[in-house]
């Protein structure tokens, strides 16, 4: 499998560790269920990015599962935190949304789904660390405007729709500035309860 996924390396890096390109995410260590969901979404056109749609169009679902399992098993170190030029006020806003959410606007804390350490949970909730702010902003924007969707109930689209542009900038900047935790793999399934049902979480 390591040889077969070399086609992924130019964009996603060796072992899926990521590259210097701000728009291509790290794949290594993410839960296999999450990675499989995204591969199927690209294959079926629910997520739209022509190179990915083309590469996956004729691959079988079991083979996509093999790809997901491979990247989930890789654990290269997380990159260094991203240097940011946003103000401390913006970072504080991002930290507040990630850690506490905003009950008045029905925005749950990011960590209520992505885990106390923000490393995700098996089998289908991704970690949020080791990603560049531009990528995080782009994905939150895609959820906000409906260009990225997941199986119903689409919890990320619901939450992202309640965020402002300033919220997105703040959350992305704060997440990208976080150092790697001592233990970065996703939490085991059932470690914590989600605040609501999410269709993208595999059974």
What local confidence, expressed as pLDDT, does residue 203 receive? Answer: 57
d(CA 82, CA 177): 5
Q: pTM value?
A: 0.91
Distances (CA, A) of 89 to 84, 133, 166, 171: 12, 17, 11, 12
Q: What is the mean pLDDT of residues 66-74?
A: 96
Domains and CATH numbers, the chain: 4-72 (1.10.760.10), 88-176 (1.10.760.10)
What SS3 class is residue 19? coil
Q: Is the pLDDT at 123 greater than 90, yes or no?
A: yes
Share of the chain above pLDDT 70, in %: 99
CA 33 to CA 35: how far, in whole Å? 6
Which residues, listed in sequence order, are joined to residue 102 by a DSSP beta bridge? 107
35-65 confidence digits (pLDDT tens):
999 999 999 998 989 999 999 999 999 999 9
With a CB cutoff of 8 Å and minimum separation 6, the contacts of 159 are 107, 108, 143
């Amino acid at each position: 499998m390591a040889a077969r996924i070399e086609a992924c390396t130019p964009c996603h890096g060796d072992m899926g560790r990521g590259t210097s390109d701000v728009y291509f995410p790290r794949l290594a260590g993410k839960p296999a269920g999450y990675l499989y969901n995204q591969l199927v979404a690209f294959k079926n056109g629910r997520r739209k990015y022509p190179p990915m749609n083309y590469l996956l169009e004729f691959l079988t679902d079991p083979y996509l599962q093999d790809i997901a399992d491979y990247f989930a098993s890789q654990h290269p170190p997380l990159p260094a935190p991203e240097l940011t030029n946003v103000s401390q006020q913006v970072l504080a806003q991002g930290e507040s949304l990630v850690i506490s959410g905003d009950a008045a606007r029905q925005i749950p804390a990011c960590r209520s789904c992505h885990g106390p350490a923000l490393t995700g949970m098996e089998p289908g909730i991704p970690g949020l660390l080791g990603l560049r702010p531009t990528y995080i902003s782009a994905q939150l924007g895609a959820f906000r405007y409906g260009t990225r969707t997941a199986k119903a109930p689409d919890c990320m689209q619901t939450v992202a729709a309640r965020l402002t542009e300033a919220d997105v900038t703040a959350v992305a900047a704060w997440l990208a500035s976080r150092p790697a935790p001592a233990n970065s793999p996703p939490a085991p399934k059932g470690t914590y309860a989600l605040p609501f049902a999410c269709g993208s979480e595999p059974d």
